[in-house]
Amino acid sequence: MLLHGHPLSGNTHKVRLLLSALGLSYEERVVDVPAGAHKRPDFLALNPRGQLPVLQDGKVALHDAQAILVYLARKYDPRGTWLPTDPAEMAAVVAWLSFAANEIQNTVHPARMHFLLGVPVSLEAAQRAGRAAISLLEARLQGRTFLELERPTIADLACFPCVALAPEGKVDLAEFPNVRAWTDRLRKQPFFVAMPGLAAA
């Protein structure tokens, strides 16, 4: 199995976390995003969107982090621990994947990329929208251990990296105690793997 990603990519990291949780071995190939490697023909042949990550599993090549999480969970976790098979429970988990790809990815992630890589962004608007998105997580996690089913699922993995890294975009988590407790809980899980800016608790 081959994972095309980048050390600073939260989307790549959520896939790393599930690969670790499932005990799957893989090779990671770093895509030099600052040098534009994700827009070159060889990479665009894998993902015409020019985005990370991309997973190659035999003859299957997948892009979009959320789609990769679904694929790995369904193929390599037939008991449904990470993606339940009950329709209502599955829909609840998948709804958080959409939240990760929209409310989180389009807010705290651009703010973080602005400070790390100098990516131009409407910073104040991104930070404000990021705090609003994290506020929704804060409310959801009131009295809950994880987002769904009181166990880690791909709902948590989809949302976790970009939220935990939000302070790198100057979005402070101090006012979100439930979110901070949740990120610490995930960082203490046996499957946790570190990345730059995100160490074990």
Q: Clarify whether residues 175 and 110 are in a common domain.
A: yes
81 lies in some domain: no
Q: Clarify whether residues 63 and 113 are in a common domain.
A: no
Model confidence pTM above 0.85: yes
Q: Clarify whether residues 101 and 140 are in a common domain.
A: yes
Give residue 201's pLDDT: 77
Digit-coded pLDDT (tens) for 18-70: 999 999 999 999 888 777 778 888 878 887 887 889 999 999 999 999 999 99
Q: Clarify whether residues 144 and 59 are in a common domain.
A: no
Give residue 38's pLDDT: 85
CATH code of 24's domain = 3.40.30.10
49 lies in some domain: yes
Range of 137's domain?
A: 87-187
Phi-psi region of 149 (alpha: psi -120 to 50; beta: other; left: phi over 0): left
Give residue 36's pLDDT: 78
Residue matched to tokens 């006012």: 175
Q: Clarify whether residues 134 and 181 are in a common domain.
A: yes
46 lies in some domain: yes
**Residue that terminates a domain, selected from 76, 104, 136:** 76
> What is the rounded CA–CA span in Å between residue 201 and residue 73?
25
182 lies in some domain: yes
CATH code of 130's domain = 1.20.1050.10
- Cβ 160 vs Cβ 186: under 8 Å: yes
pLDDT tens for the chain, 201 residues long, are 999 998 888 999 999 999 999 999 999 998 887 777 788 888 788 878 878 899 999 999 999 999 999 999 999 998 999 999 999 999 999 999 999 999 999 999 999 989 988 889 999 999 999 999 999 999 999 999 999 999 999 999 999 999 999 999 999 999 999 999 999 999 999 999 999 998 987
Give residue 20's pLDDT: 97
Give residue 66's pLDDT: 96
Q: Clarify whether residues 45 and 97 are in a common domain.
A: no
Q: Clarify whether residues 112 and 182 are in a common domain.
A: yes
**How many CB atoms lie under 10 A from the CB of residue 1?**
15
Q: Clarify whether residues 55 and 143 are in a common domain.
A: no
What is the count of structural domains for the chain? Answer: 2
Q: Clarify whether residues 71 and 91 are in a common domain.
A: no
DSSP the chain: -EEEE-TT-HHHHHHHHHHHHTT---EEEE--TTTTGGGSHHHHTT-TT--S-EEEETTEEEESHHHHHHHHHHHH-TT-SSS-SSHHHHHHHHHHHHHIIIIITTTHHHHHHHHHH-----HHHHHHHHHHHHHHHHHHTTT-SSSSTTS--HHHHHHHHHHHTGGGGT---TT-HHHHHHHHHHHTSTT---BTTB---
197 lies in some domain: no
**Residue that terminates a domain, selected from 41, 76, 111:** 76
> What is the rounded CA–CA span in Å between residue 101 and residue 142?
22
- Cβ 46 vs Cβ 61: under 8 Å: yes
194 lies in some domain: no
